[in-house]
Amino acid sequence: MSSSYGENIRLTIFGQSHSPAIGMTMEGIPAGQRIDRELLQRFLDRRAPGRAVYSTPRREADEPEFLSGLVGNVTCGAPIAAIIRNTNIRREDYAAFASLPRPGHADYTAQMKYGGAQDRSGGGHFSGRMTAPLCIAGGICLQMLAAEKIQVISRILSIGKVHDVGDLTESTAQKRFPTVDDACGEAMCAEIEDARAQGDSIGGVIECAVLGLPAGLGDPIFDGMENRIASAIFAIPAVKGIEFGSGFASAALHGSENNDPYFVEDGRVKTLTNHCGGILGGITNGMPLTFRVAVKPTPSIAKEQRSVNLKTMEPERLAITGRHDPCIVPRAVPCVEAAAAIAVYDALLGHKREEE
Amino acid sequence: MSSSYGENIRLTIFGQSHSPAIGMTMEGIPAGQRIDRELLQRFLDRRAPGRAVYSTPRREADEPEFLSGLVGNVTCGAPIAAIIRNTNIRREDYAAFASLPRPGHADYTAQMKYGGAQDRSGGGHFSGRMTAPLCIAGGICLQMLAAEKIQVISRILSIGKVHDVGDLTESTAQKRFPTVDDACGEAMCAEIEDARAQGDSIGGVIECAVLGLPAGLGDPIFDGMENRIASAIFAIPAVKGIEFGSGFASAALHGSENNDPYFVEDGRVKTLTNHCGGILGGITNGMPLTFRVAVKPTPSIAKEQRSVNLKTMEPERLAITGRHDPCIVPRAVPCVEAAAAIAVYDALLGHKREEE
Amino acid sequence: MSSSYGENIRLTIFGQSHSPAIGMTMEGIPAGQRIDRELLQRFLDRRAPGRAVYSTPRREADEPEFLSGLVGNVTCGAPIAAIIRNTNIRREDYAAFASLPRPGHADYTAQMKYGGAQDRSGGGHFSGRMTAPLCIAGGICLQMLAAEKIQVISRILSIGKVHDVGDLTESTAQKRFPTVDDACGEAMCAEIEDARAQGDSIGGVIECAVLGLPAGLGDPIFDGMENRIASAIFAIPAVKGIEFGSGFASAALHGSENNDPYFVEDGRVKTLTNHCGGILGGITNGMPLTFRVAVKPTPSIAKEQRSVNLKTMEPERLAITGRHDPCIVPRAVPCVEAAAAIAVYDALLGHKREEE
Amino acid sequence: MSSSYGENIRLTIFGQSHSPAIGMTMEGIPAGQRIDRELLQRFLDRRAPGRAVYSTPRREADEPEFLSGLVGNVTCGAPIAAIIRNTNIRREDYAAFASLPRPGHADYTAQMKYGGAQDRSGGGHFSGRMTAPLCIAGGICLQMLAAEKIQVISRILSIGKVHDVGDLTESTAQKRFPTVDDACGEAMCAEIEDARAQGDSIGGVIECAVLGLPAGLGDPIFDGMENRIASAIFAIPAVKGIEFGSGFASAALHGSENNDPYFVEDGRVKTLTNHCGGILGGITNGMPLTFRVAVKPTPSIAKEQRSVNLKTMEPERLAITGRHDPCIVPRAVPCVEAAAAIAVYDALLGHKREEE
């Protein structure tokens, strides 16, 4: 195990790329909460494939069917279950990889873990497609958070070596290609297009902020906000790093530079800087909770690569011909928001219990 | 919650900086395992204060008393409980901070979470001292891993802006100040001494590798090795970032650069490079599992800082006069190894169940 | 929460009586296990309604659709998800109970818990229909256990005041109406028919045994076999008591009568009697694990009952006219086996890890 | 595993009969709660040995030392840890049982589980002595519940074949030997004394009620109040059965007899009878939550018993000569209250979160 997450909510993600359906169950959302299905669909559409130059042409609607947990569109207290049918299945695409593991993919590790019984088609349970149910769960949590005036926003901080400039704001997050500086955004798109043209792929960094959090959220030691968010974010395939506040840059600073001085504004305690990313001792201080996520380049590339035939144990070369994004960073943005929303809302439910 | 961790082991860390004792309970270590108490003590000594120029003069032996779970030095299957008495307590040091939160510390966030009932002395449950029981648990797990020929090694990659060069090896990890290049190590020590002389502190980065892991360890989605290790590592106060393999650097690469090609050596499948840090799809591939951890500068500094008096809500300045490390990175090294060992051993126990 | 169970498997049951579907997700079944779908269907048919005089005429096929976790009929290591569509829905049946809680049902308690947002139709998530996904999960676990030569068998020990005689054996368990003595079984059926004729219902006791268990299964204190099985069995609506071995009868005995003396047979340690039900200190001793479960009479009866109108807070009378079993004991038999199989298999997976 | 319990609190019990100490850690008690140490000690004294004719002469004070989680006597939000030193240790008493398992004890099953590495002295982790830390945790939960006007009361319903008469009330629960009818109590004591005189032991039944609970407490399916309480109660060694409300007697009733009709009193919905024991669908209805627990006779008896020498696999006889209660039912009464309080308080914390 495990494809399950949460302390106060309990989320299970199921499905394989080419199984009859993918989906999620989520317990713990309080009864009586209205879910805006259109808003949820718009959120899911941000992740769905086939929308842009940088995205795979495989296009599925990603429209969830809710099987339980709702009466009309209102939660009834029972576990919420929702599924998305897999309709556009081409099992033959992947037959070759059964014994020839694709570099950078989970083909080989899944083979070692499951002794050959894993579902190889399309990456099986390791497919990026499993982020669709993550986004269903996260989209619901985002709505729960919004009802408490908590926003989760994000931007693309870099694609390859092209970096955005300026500070993340709510208006940035609403752009179709979310960068503060549109010229940077265009340069990033060019970088992606360039990778595609070369039969290659490219990685990037996503920055995320949670606004409107109360101070006092999170727990000591193993359940701090960093632990909780990291634990959820690494559920997104291709994520290889996370840093909070100034993160790795803090490691090069002196304490006198990195400590965030307190001051009072509008009767509230705030900090002048936010190197700590809104978290001290694992617990929120009421400032924006900020973090950055490193996304590796899509491992599926048309360029020829070296691998090993697991049957013969002889070297072999492979070129991946299927439908693949040259850069998954844009589609990973809502996934990061979803994972953050799940982690934060789970912590918030615990916080409410304590506040009583 | 929560000060608990684990799926197959269950670790709870308890205690406050100035409570009668600190300690840990750990369930799930198989019965019949011999614990080498001397080896454990030497491991704990690496974390203990008062050993070097860069360390606080507060010195306590950190000798655990085992209360249960052992017959002689052999595990009996019952939960292991061990405590360390707090002997060198000076409650008066911290009285002033009750209403004047120290920047960069958990004073303010704990106040907001616990409504003023938290134990303020010495940081209470948020004290760096809580890493001593983490190291007891981790030290035991390191011994369990060693019995399976799995090693956890680490080095100091940077202090402030001074970086080590070369590749981490087992011999590096055994040095008193673990850097590959001793000249770099000396420059780092000078950097620390310089921070101390200025009444300041400084951060750094630790690199860690787990050697000898089988392929197939870890689980999809929320229980991948990245999720598991991150979740444990962020239990160490002052950690603000983690990256696996090439981490954030991967985000700037093309897929053709970042994918690790497979080859065969000595009948085993290996990869030519290790950008993925030994983890694909959350699951180990049998290569070294590598990660880096960003440690922020110690927030306790002698330099005067801005804060807010929470009673009057007026700005106030404070200078911290107690005993504090100018740089906790060297003492954090065994903590990182301990947290990694706990996460890896927990996953290994699950792996064994599957292998049956 | 929670509709989730398990330490080494993780089972979530979702759905409401009249939601689009009911179902379950189950993680932790090892990869590579073949599931016999026909055998599973025959097991589910034992629970399904509409089969006998004692059963409600509402008839649904209870044929699960597997959405994930299988390749063909073999587990692939990913979570198994299966659903059963709700086809025979008559929401109007239950409209009246919105403000007039049925005695013995969860109408009132769900109203108090969910503040009126619960799904009232057909008992919602509290419906006996939720035992169908429990039986999917349990049916799979029964097959996993059978592969290890572990059998779960049961009989109807009593209906109302009519008791079976003799000892439970495997052949008894295969009967359509599982009693040792067929005359007793006929008398029980008459008792059920009599209850129906009076517009009433009747309860009973089920006896269950798990055969072929290794000694050493289970854990101390909170995870003994009694805790584990009780925790799963009380998931079946209408269960109000459980006893292991001689149970409540043991309380009237002397130690010299109740202690089970050891002897050796065929080189194995056994006990002459089995008052302890195969469990000592929470851990199996290798003898049959036996327990009995008290099932209350179906609360839905045609006879007029006293209730309270929650809107007016005035007394009101109600008579339940829908389709209801006069006795759910026969259909509860496979549910008891399912819950026991889930608990035992979950413990067995933990046991395998230890055995390594 | 596992010696841990809880969803909103997390309790771990550690120690062996003859390890340096026994104890518990408990997370999740809200910060700022005052613990009355004297009241707690009086509660622990009810369980402690050596108090009466029916109790073993081994007498230890059972005075807990609190190691963490408190500032003064007020909870600070960090995990509470408390230990009791084992002072009166006689390891030689038990040496003989290493290869000659005592009937009715966990000697044999622990041997099978731990492969001989278990702590055999005094029953090790399976000792009844482990109920002392259970009572520390439970005693704290009882105080938390009392602050919300929730009482846990109990009585001895039977010893051997002697039954109490009348209904359990708060005044009964305060008696030294808690029976409604004092003559019954005297007859029970005579029954115990008689068992002792014969070198034998005797079992009994404890009845417990939780008064003052809100309606709406508990959760569907696997986390109903029955599941939660059963799961905690079976942590008490010697418990072999539990029934809620009318329990097994309900199984002999018709629905028209067993359903509890609703009525209104003082503006509150109540039921005329309480066959359901205050629980419907796993959730409280606001009536007293009632249950009964079957306690087997103490397995340690002076009378000669049959066993098997595990080294020679030859039959052998043994007579247990140590210090043992002829009946543990009276000392089990506070243990039942403790386990119930832990389960109920854990559920109550979840309930508070939902109420927000």
- D263 contacts D271 by C-beta, under 8 angstroms: yes
Q: How far is the C-alpha of D67 from the C-alpha of B21, rounded, in Å?
A: 5
- C76 contacts A124 by C-beta, under 8 angstroms: yes
Q: How far is the C-alpha of C227 from the C-alpha of C233, rounded, in Å?
A: 10
Q: Which chains touch D (3 or more CB pairs under 8 A)?
A: A, B, C
Q: Which of D22, D70, D117 sits opposite B31 (nearest CB)?
A: D117
Residue B74 buriedness (CB in 10 A; 0-12 / 13-18 / 19+):
middle
Whether D355 and A354 lie within 8 Å, measured CB to CB: no
Chain D positions touching A356 (Cβ under 8 A) are: 30, 352-353, 355-356
The reported pLDDT for the residue numbered C314 is 95
Amino acid identity, residue A229?
A: I
Task: Name the strand (E) or helix (H) holding C21.
Answer: strand C21-27
Which pLDDT band, with edges at 50, 70 and 90, does C87 fall under? confident
| Angle value at C-alpha C108, between C106 and C114, nearest 5 degrees | 90
Q: Which of B30, B78, B220 sits opposite C354 (nearest CB)?
A: B30
Q: What percent of chain C has pLDDT over 70?
A: 92
CB pairs under 8 A between B and C: 24
| Angle value at C-alpha A308, between A307 and A311, nearest 5 degrees | 150
Q: How far is B108 from chain D (nearest CA, A)?
A: 15
Residues D222-253 have pLDDT tens digits of 999 999 999 999 999 999 999 999 999 999 99
Residue C58 pLDDT exceeds 80: no
The reported pLDDT for the residue numbered D48 is 83
Residues B201-231 have pLDDT tens digits of 999 999 999 999 999 999 999 999 999 999 9
Which pLDDT band, with edges at 50, 70 and 90, does A3 fall under? confident
Residues C307-347 have pLDDT tens digits of 999 999 999 999 988 778 899 999 999 999 999 999 999 99
Which pLDDT band, with edges at 50, 70 and 90, does D92 fall under? low
Residue A33, token pair as written in the block: 């909460």
Residues B329-341 have pLDDT tens digits of 999 999 999 999 9
Report pTM: 0.96
Q: How far is the C-alpha of D148 from the C-alpha of D34, rounded, in Å?
A: 13
Whether A12 and C21 lie within 8 Å, measured CB to CB: no
Q: How far is A87 from chain B (nearest CA, A)?
A: 23
Kindly state the DSSP code that residue A266 receives in the 8-state scheme. T
Residue B52 pLDDT exceeds 60: no
Average confidence score pLDDT of chain D? 92
Which pLDDT band, with edges at 50, 70 and 90, does B49 fall under? confident
Residue D143 pLDDT exceeds 90: yes
- A191 contacts A202 by C-beta, under 8 angstroms: yes
Interface test with A, best of B105, B200, B240, B250 (most A CBs within 10 A): B240
Residue B237, token pair as written in the block: 């106060």
- B146 contacts B345 by C-beta, under 8 angstroms: no
Which pLDDT band, with edges at 50, 70 and 90, does C115 fall under? confident
Residue B187 buriedness (CB in 10 A; 0-12 / 13-18 / 19+):
middle
Measured between alpha carbons, how far is residue B221 from residues A208, A229, A355 in Å?
20, 13, 32
Q: What percent of chain D has pLDDT over 70?
A: 92
Residue pointed to by tokens 């049957």: A311
Which pLDDT band, with edges at 50, 70 and 90, does A56 fall under? low
Per-residue DSSP letters for A111-137? HHHHTT-S--GGGGGGSGGGHHHHHHH
Residue A1 pLDDT exceeds 60: no
Whether A356 and D354 lie within 8 Å, measured CB to CB: no
Q: What percent of chain B has pLDDT over 70?
A: 92
N- to C-terminal Cα distance for chain B?
34
Which residues of A touch chain D, with CB atoms under 8 Å apart?
8, 30-31, 78, 220, 349-350, 352-356
Which pLDDT band, with edges at 50, 70 and 90, does D95 fall under? low
Report how many helices (DSSP H) and strands (DSSP E) chain B contains, helices first: 8, 18
Residues A193-243 have pLDDT tens digits of 999 999 999 999 999 999 999 999 999 999 999 999 999 999 999 999 999
Residue C52 pLDDT exceeds 60: no
The reported pLDDT for the residue numbered A120 is 87
Chain D positions touching A354 (Cβ under 8 A) are: 30-31
Q: What was the ipTM of the complex prediction?
A: 0.96
Chain A positions touching C19 (Cβ under 8 A) are: 67-70, 78
Residues A301-329 have pLDDT tens digits of 999 999 999 999 999 999 988 778 899 99
Residue D167 pLDDT exceeds 80: yes
Question: What's the whole-number mean pLDDT along residues A36-60?
Answer: 76
Q: How far is the C-alpha of A312 from the C-alpha of B264, rounded, in Å?
A: 11
Q: Which residues of B118-134 are buried (b: 16+ CB within 10 A; e: fewer)?
A: bbbbbbbbbbbbbbbbb
User: Is the Cα torsion angle C313, C317, C319, C325 positive or negative in sign?
Assistant: positive
Q: Quick count: other Cβ atoms within 10 Å of Cβ B56? A: 18
Which residues, including other chains, have CB under 8 Å from residue B201's CB and lie 6 or more apart? A254, A255, A256, B195, B297, B298, B299, B300, B301, B324, B325, B326, B327
Measured between alpha carbons, how far is residue D3 from residues C219, C224, C229, D10, D126 in Å?
8, 9, 16, 10, 11
Interface test with A, best of B13, B262, B303 (most A CBs within 10 A): B262
- C233 contacts C339 by C-beta, under 8 angstroms: yes
Chain D positions touching A349 (Cβ under 8 A) are: 353
Residues C162-181 have pLDDT tens digits of 999 999 999 998 899 999 99
Which pLDDT band, with edges at 50, 70 and 90, does D55 fall under? low
Residue D191 pLDDT exceeds 60: yes
Q: Which chains touch A (3 or more CB pairs under 8 A)?
A: B, C, D
The reported pLDDT for the residue numbered A93 is 55
The reported pLDDT for the residue numbered A321 is 83
Q: Quick count: other Cβ atoms within 10 Å of Cβ C306? A: 16
- A50 contacts A59 by C-beta, under 8 angstroms: yes
Q: Which of A16, A79, A117 sits opposite C31 (nearest CB)?
A: A117
Residue C96 pLDDT exceeds 80: no
The reported pLDDT for the residue numbered A122 is 84
Q: How far is the C-alpha of A244 from the C-alpha of B49, rounded, in Å?
A: 27
Residue C179, token pair as written in the block: 């009693």
Which pLDDT band, with edges at 50, 70 and 90, does D121 fall under? confident
* Least confident stretch, A223-227, B269-273, D2-6, D351-355: D351-355
* Least confident stretch, A221-235, C246-260, D49-63, D342-356: D49-63
Closest CA to A128 of A188, A228, A47, A44: A47
Q: How far is C172 from chain A (nearest CA, A)?
A: 37
Q: How far is the C-alpha of B333 from the C-alpha of B164, rounded, in Å?
A: 15
Chain C positions touching B353 (Cβ under 8 A) are: 8, 349-350, 352-353, 356
Q: How far is the C-alpha of A326 from the C-alpha of A328, rounded, in Å?
A: 7
Q: Which residues sit opposite B48 in a β-bridge?
A: none
Q: How far is A65 from chain B (nearest CA, A)?
A: 22
Q: How far is the C-alpha of B129 from the C-alpha of B131, rounded, in Å?
A: 5
Q: How far is B26 from chain A (nearest CA, A)?
A: 14
Interface test with B, best of D12, D24, D29, D120 (most B CBs within 10 A): D12
Chain B positions touching A271 (Cβ under 8 A) are: 103
Chain B positions touching D8 (Cβ under 8 A) are: 1
Which pLDDT band, with edges at 50, 70 and 90, does D352 fall under? confident
Q: How far is the C-alpha of B81 from the C-alpha of C115, rounded, in Å?
A: 43
Residue A150 pLDDT exceeds 80: yes
DSSP β-ladder status, B262-265 and D279-280: unpaired
Three-state secondary structure call for residue A305: strand
- Tell me which chain A residue has its CA closest to the CA of residue D30: A354
Average confidence score pLDDT of chain B? 92
Which residues, including other chains, have CB under 8 Å from residue C356's CB and lie 6 or more apart? B30, B352, B353, B355, B356
Q: In angstroms, what is the C-alpha Rg of chain D?
A: 21
Q: How far is the C-alpha of A52 from the C-alpha of A239, rounded, in Å?
A: 22
Q: How far is the C-alpha of B285 from the C-alpha of B260, rounded, in Å?
A: 11
Closest CA to A25 of A41, A43, A9: A9
Q: How far is the C-alpha of B137 from the C-alpha of B40, rounded, in Å?
A: 10
Q: How far is the C-alpha of B185 from the C-alpha of B167, rounded, in Å?
A: 14
Whether C301 and D271 lie within 8 Å, measured CB to CB: no
- D50 contacts B1 by C-beta, under 8 angstroms: no
Whether A355 and D356 lie within 8 Å, measured CB to CB: yes
Chain A positions touching D29 (Cβ under 8 A) are: none
Residue B287 buriedness (CB in 10 A; 0-12 / 13-18 / 19+):
buried
Which residues, including other chains, have CB under 8 Å from residue A322's CB and lie 6 or more apart? A93, A94, A300
The reported pLDDT for the residue numbered C88 is 65
The reported pLDDT for the residue numbered B99 is 87
Whether D77 and B19 lie within 8 Å, measured CB to CB: no
The reported pLDDT for the residue numbered B54 is 53
Residues A256-302 have pLDDT tens digits of 999 999 999 999 999 999 999 999 999 999 999 999 999 999 999 99
Q: Which of A21, A77, A81 sits opposite C113 (nearest CB)?
A: A77
Q: How far is B244 from chain C (nearest CA, A)?
A: 24
Which pLDDT band, with edges at 50, 70 and 90, does C354 fall under? low
Three-state secondary structure call for residue A331: helix
Q: What are the helix (H) ranges across C55-180?
A: 107-114, 131-146, 170-173
Q: How far is D176 from chain C (nearest CA, A)?
A: 21
Q: Which of A31, A220, A349 sits opposite D353 (nearest CB)?
A: A349
Three-state secondary structure call for residue C157: strand
Per-residue DSSP letters for B55-67? S-S------PEEE
Which pLDDT band, with edges at 50, 70 and 90, does D343 fall under? very high
Residues B114-132 have pLDDT tens digits of 988 999 888 899 999 999 9
Q: How far is the C-alpha of C346 from the C-alpha of D92, rounded, in Å?
A: 38
Residue D144 pLDDT exceeds 90: yes
- Mind spelling out the 3-state secondary structure of C165-208? CCCCCHHHHCCCCCCCCHHHHHHHHHHHHHHHHCCCCECEEEEE
Report the phi/psi class of residue A332: left, alpha or beta, with left for phi > 0 and alpha for psi in -120 to 50. alpha
- Tell me which chain A residue has its CA closest to the CA of residue B302: A256
Average confidence score pLDDT of chain A? 92
Chain B positions touching D76 (Cβ under 8 A) are: 16, 114, 117-119, 124-125
Chain B positions touching D3 (Cβ under 8 A) are: 27, 78-79
Residue pointed to by tokens 């299945």: A89
Residue pointed to by tokens 């931007």: A155
The reported pLDDT for the residue numbered B181 is 97
Strand order in the sheet with C80-85: C4-5, C10-14, C21-27, C80-85, C65-68
Residues B157-167 have pLDDT tens digits of 999 999 999 99
Task: Name the strand (E) or helix (H) holding D344.
Answer: helix D329-355
